[in-house]
Amino acid sequence: MNTQILKIEDPFEESDKLLLASRILKDGGLVAFPTETVYGLGADALNEAAAGKIYAAKGRPSDNPLIVHISNMSMVDKLAEEISEDARRIMNRFWPGPLTVILKKRKAVPDATTGGLNTVAIRMPSHKLAQQLIEISGICIAAPSANTSGRPSPTTADHVMQDMNGRIDMILDGGPVSIGIESTIVDLSEDEPVILRPGYITKTMLEEAIGKKVLIDPVILQKGFCKDQAPKAPGMKYKHYAPKGDLSLVTGSDIDKVVNKIQELADEKTNTGYQVGIIATEETKMCYQNAIVKSIGRRSDEASVAAGLYGVLRDFDDEEVDFIFSESFEQDDFGQAIMNRLLKAAGYQIIAT
Ligand code: TXA
Ligand code: MG
């Protein structure tokens, strides 16, 4: 299959390109497009065969459901039922934006989209290109992150090309995304709201919106899962975002100690003939030597760390390093989402200082 790439600077001025993309979607094809979080791999969510193609293109396990992207509130009622007051408040407060809600699904949503669950994941993205694509095509678009299953989510059209060239019909290149890690997922299908995946919209922000406690799926930040403790978002059980090199996180509250430990670990590996990568920050990158050092962002600005994370992991795949040692970050609000992704990428290998 020949994958067509179209660059779009202004989605309001280039509706001819969006019309081409929406024709592909209506015909049951696959189109990758940017959202504010990461690039998505889109198909018609209500077309069983089209949604099914996503799994083949990504090599994704079929029990891992997809997020349905919408552009206006009336689309929610096509997809979901039993929408609680809390759910309405949360959607009104955070949409369009980096938040996915889980609601009870309507029959019209096929099993290929929901992985056979009786709930559906819905998100209204704030990215103008994504919004225009949904508006112009008039369909609900199922879209997981546009990476091969098990690779870091794509934050540029180039990343999508690396994984999807020849496997999908079209890539809409809207430039690099702004947030860089996937949406927060909150389950609102039962009485108590539960965060299934941390993201830019935090627990505190959700609690403020509904004036009551929001739980966090306890398996999110811990290593491994017990048999009777599977995560509620099926995708969270896979070792996602895994770089090719063996990644360890070095933790500790004293950054000088962390830097020294990373240098010591890197030297040990280099001296035995391995290629070593170090994930540093703008503040620390000058401190390291004799390794491939990449800065993930500014320690003083969490958003920059999130935006840099997946790109750095992909860069290290290209460098073919054997070992990667990474600095770690505070697990406060947005930091919890960053550390959740880093811990998963590292397969929970932590070296404490
Ligand atoms: O930011 C995002 O959410 C991006 C962009 C493209 O919108 N999409 C994304 O999709 O991250 P994906 O497929 O990579 O992750 C979807 C997650 C998976 O962990 C999946 O198991 C979970 O959402 N999920 C989907 N439907 C669900 C449901 N009904 N119940 C529980 N978890 C669900
Ligand atoms: Mg994904």
Q: Copy the structure tokens of residue 332.
A: 């406060």
Q: State the chain's mean pLDDT as an integer.
A: 94
- Average pLDDT score over residue span 261-285: 98
Residues with CB under 6 A from ligand 1: 35, 37-38, 40, 64-67, 100, 102, 114, 117, 119-121, 123, 143-145, 182-183, 185, 196, 232-236
Q: What was the pLDDT predicted at 240?
A: 62
Residue 227 reports pLDDT greater than 60: no
Q: Copy the structure tokens of residue 251.
A: 């933790």
- CA atoms of 316 and 131, how far apart (whole Å): 33
* Alpha-carbon torsion angle 328, 329, 331, 334, nearest 10: -130
Query: CA distances (Å), 131 to each of 95, 177, 347, in order?
Result: 12, 14, 35
The single-letter DSSP state of residue 59 is T
Under 8 Å between Cβ of 185 and 178: no
Ligand nearest the Cα atom of residue 182: 1
| Cα 36 from chain centre | 10
Taking phi over 0 as left and psi of -120 to 50 as alpha, with beta for the rest, 3 belongs to beta
Q: What number of residues does the chain have?
A: 353
- Average pLDDT score over residue span 117-131: 98
Q: What was the pLDDT predicted at 63?
A: 86
The pTM for the full model equals 0.95
Among protein residues, the one whose CA lies closest to atom 20 of ligand 1: 235
pLDDT digits (tens, 9 = 90+) for 318-331: 998 999 999 999 98
Q: What was the pLDDT predicted at 183?
A: 98
Among protein residues, the one whose CA lies closest to atom 30 of ligand 1: 233
* Alpha-carbon torsion angle 282, 283, 285, 289, nearest 10: 170
Query: CA distances (Å), 46 to each of 113, 133, 212, 289, 314, in order?
Result: 8, 16, 34, 53, 32
| Mutational pocket test of ligand 1: of 41, 81, 185, the residue with most ligand atoms within 8 Å of the beta carbon | 185
| Residue 123 Cα: closest atom of ligand 1 | 7
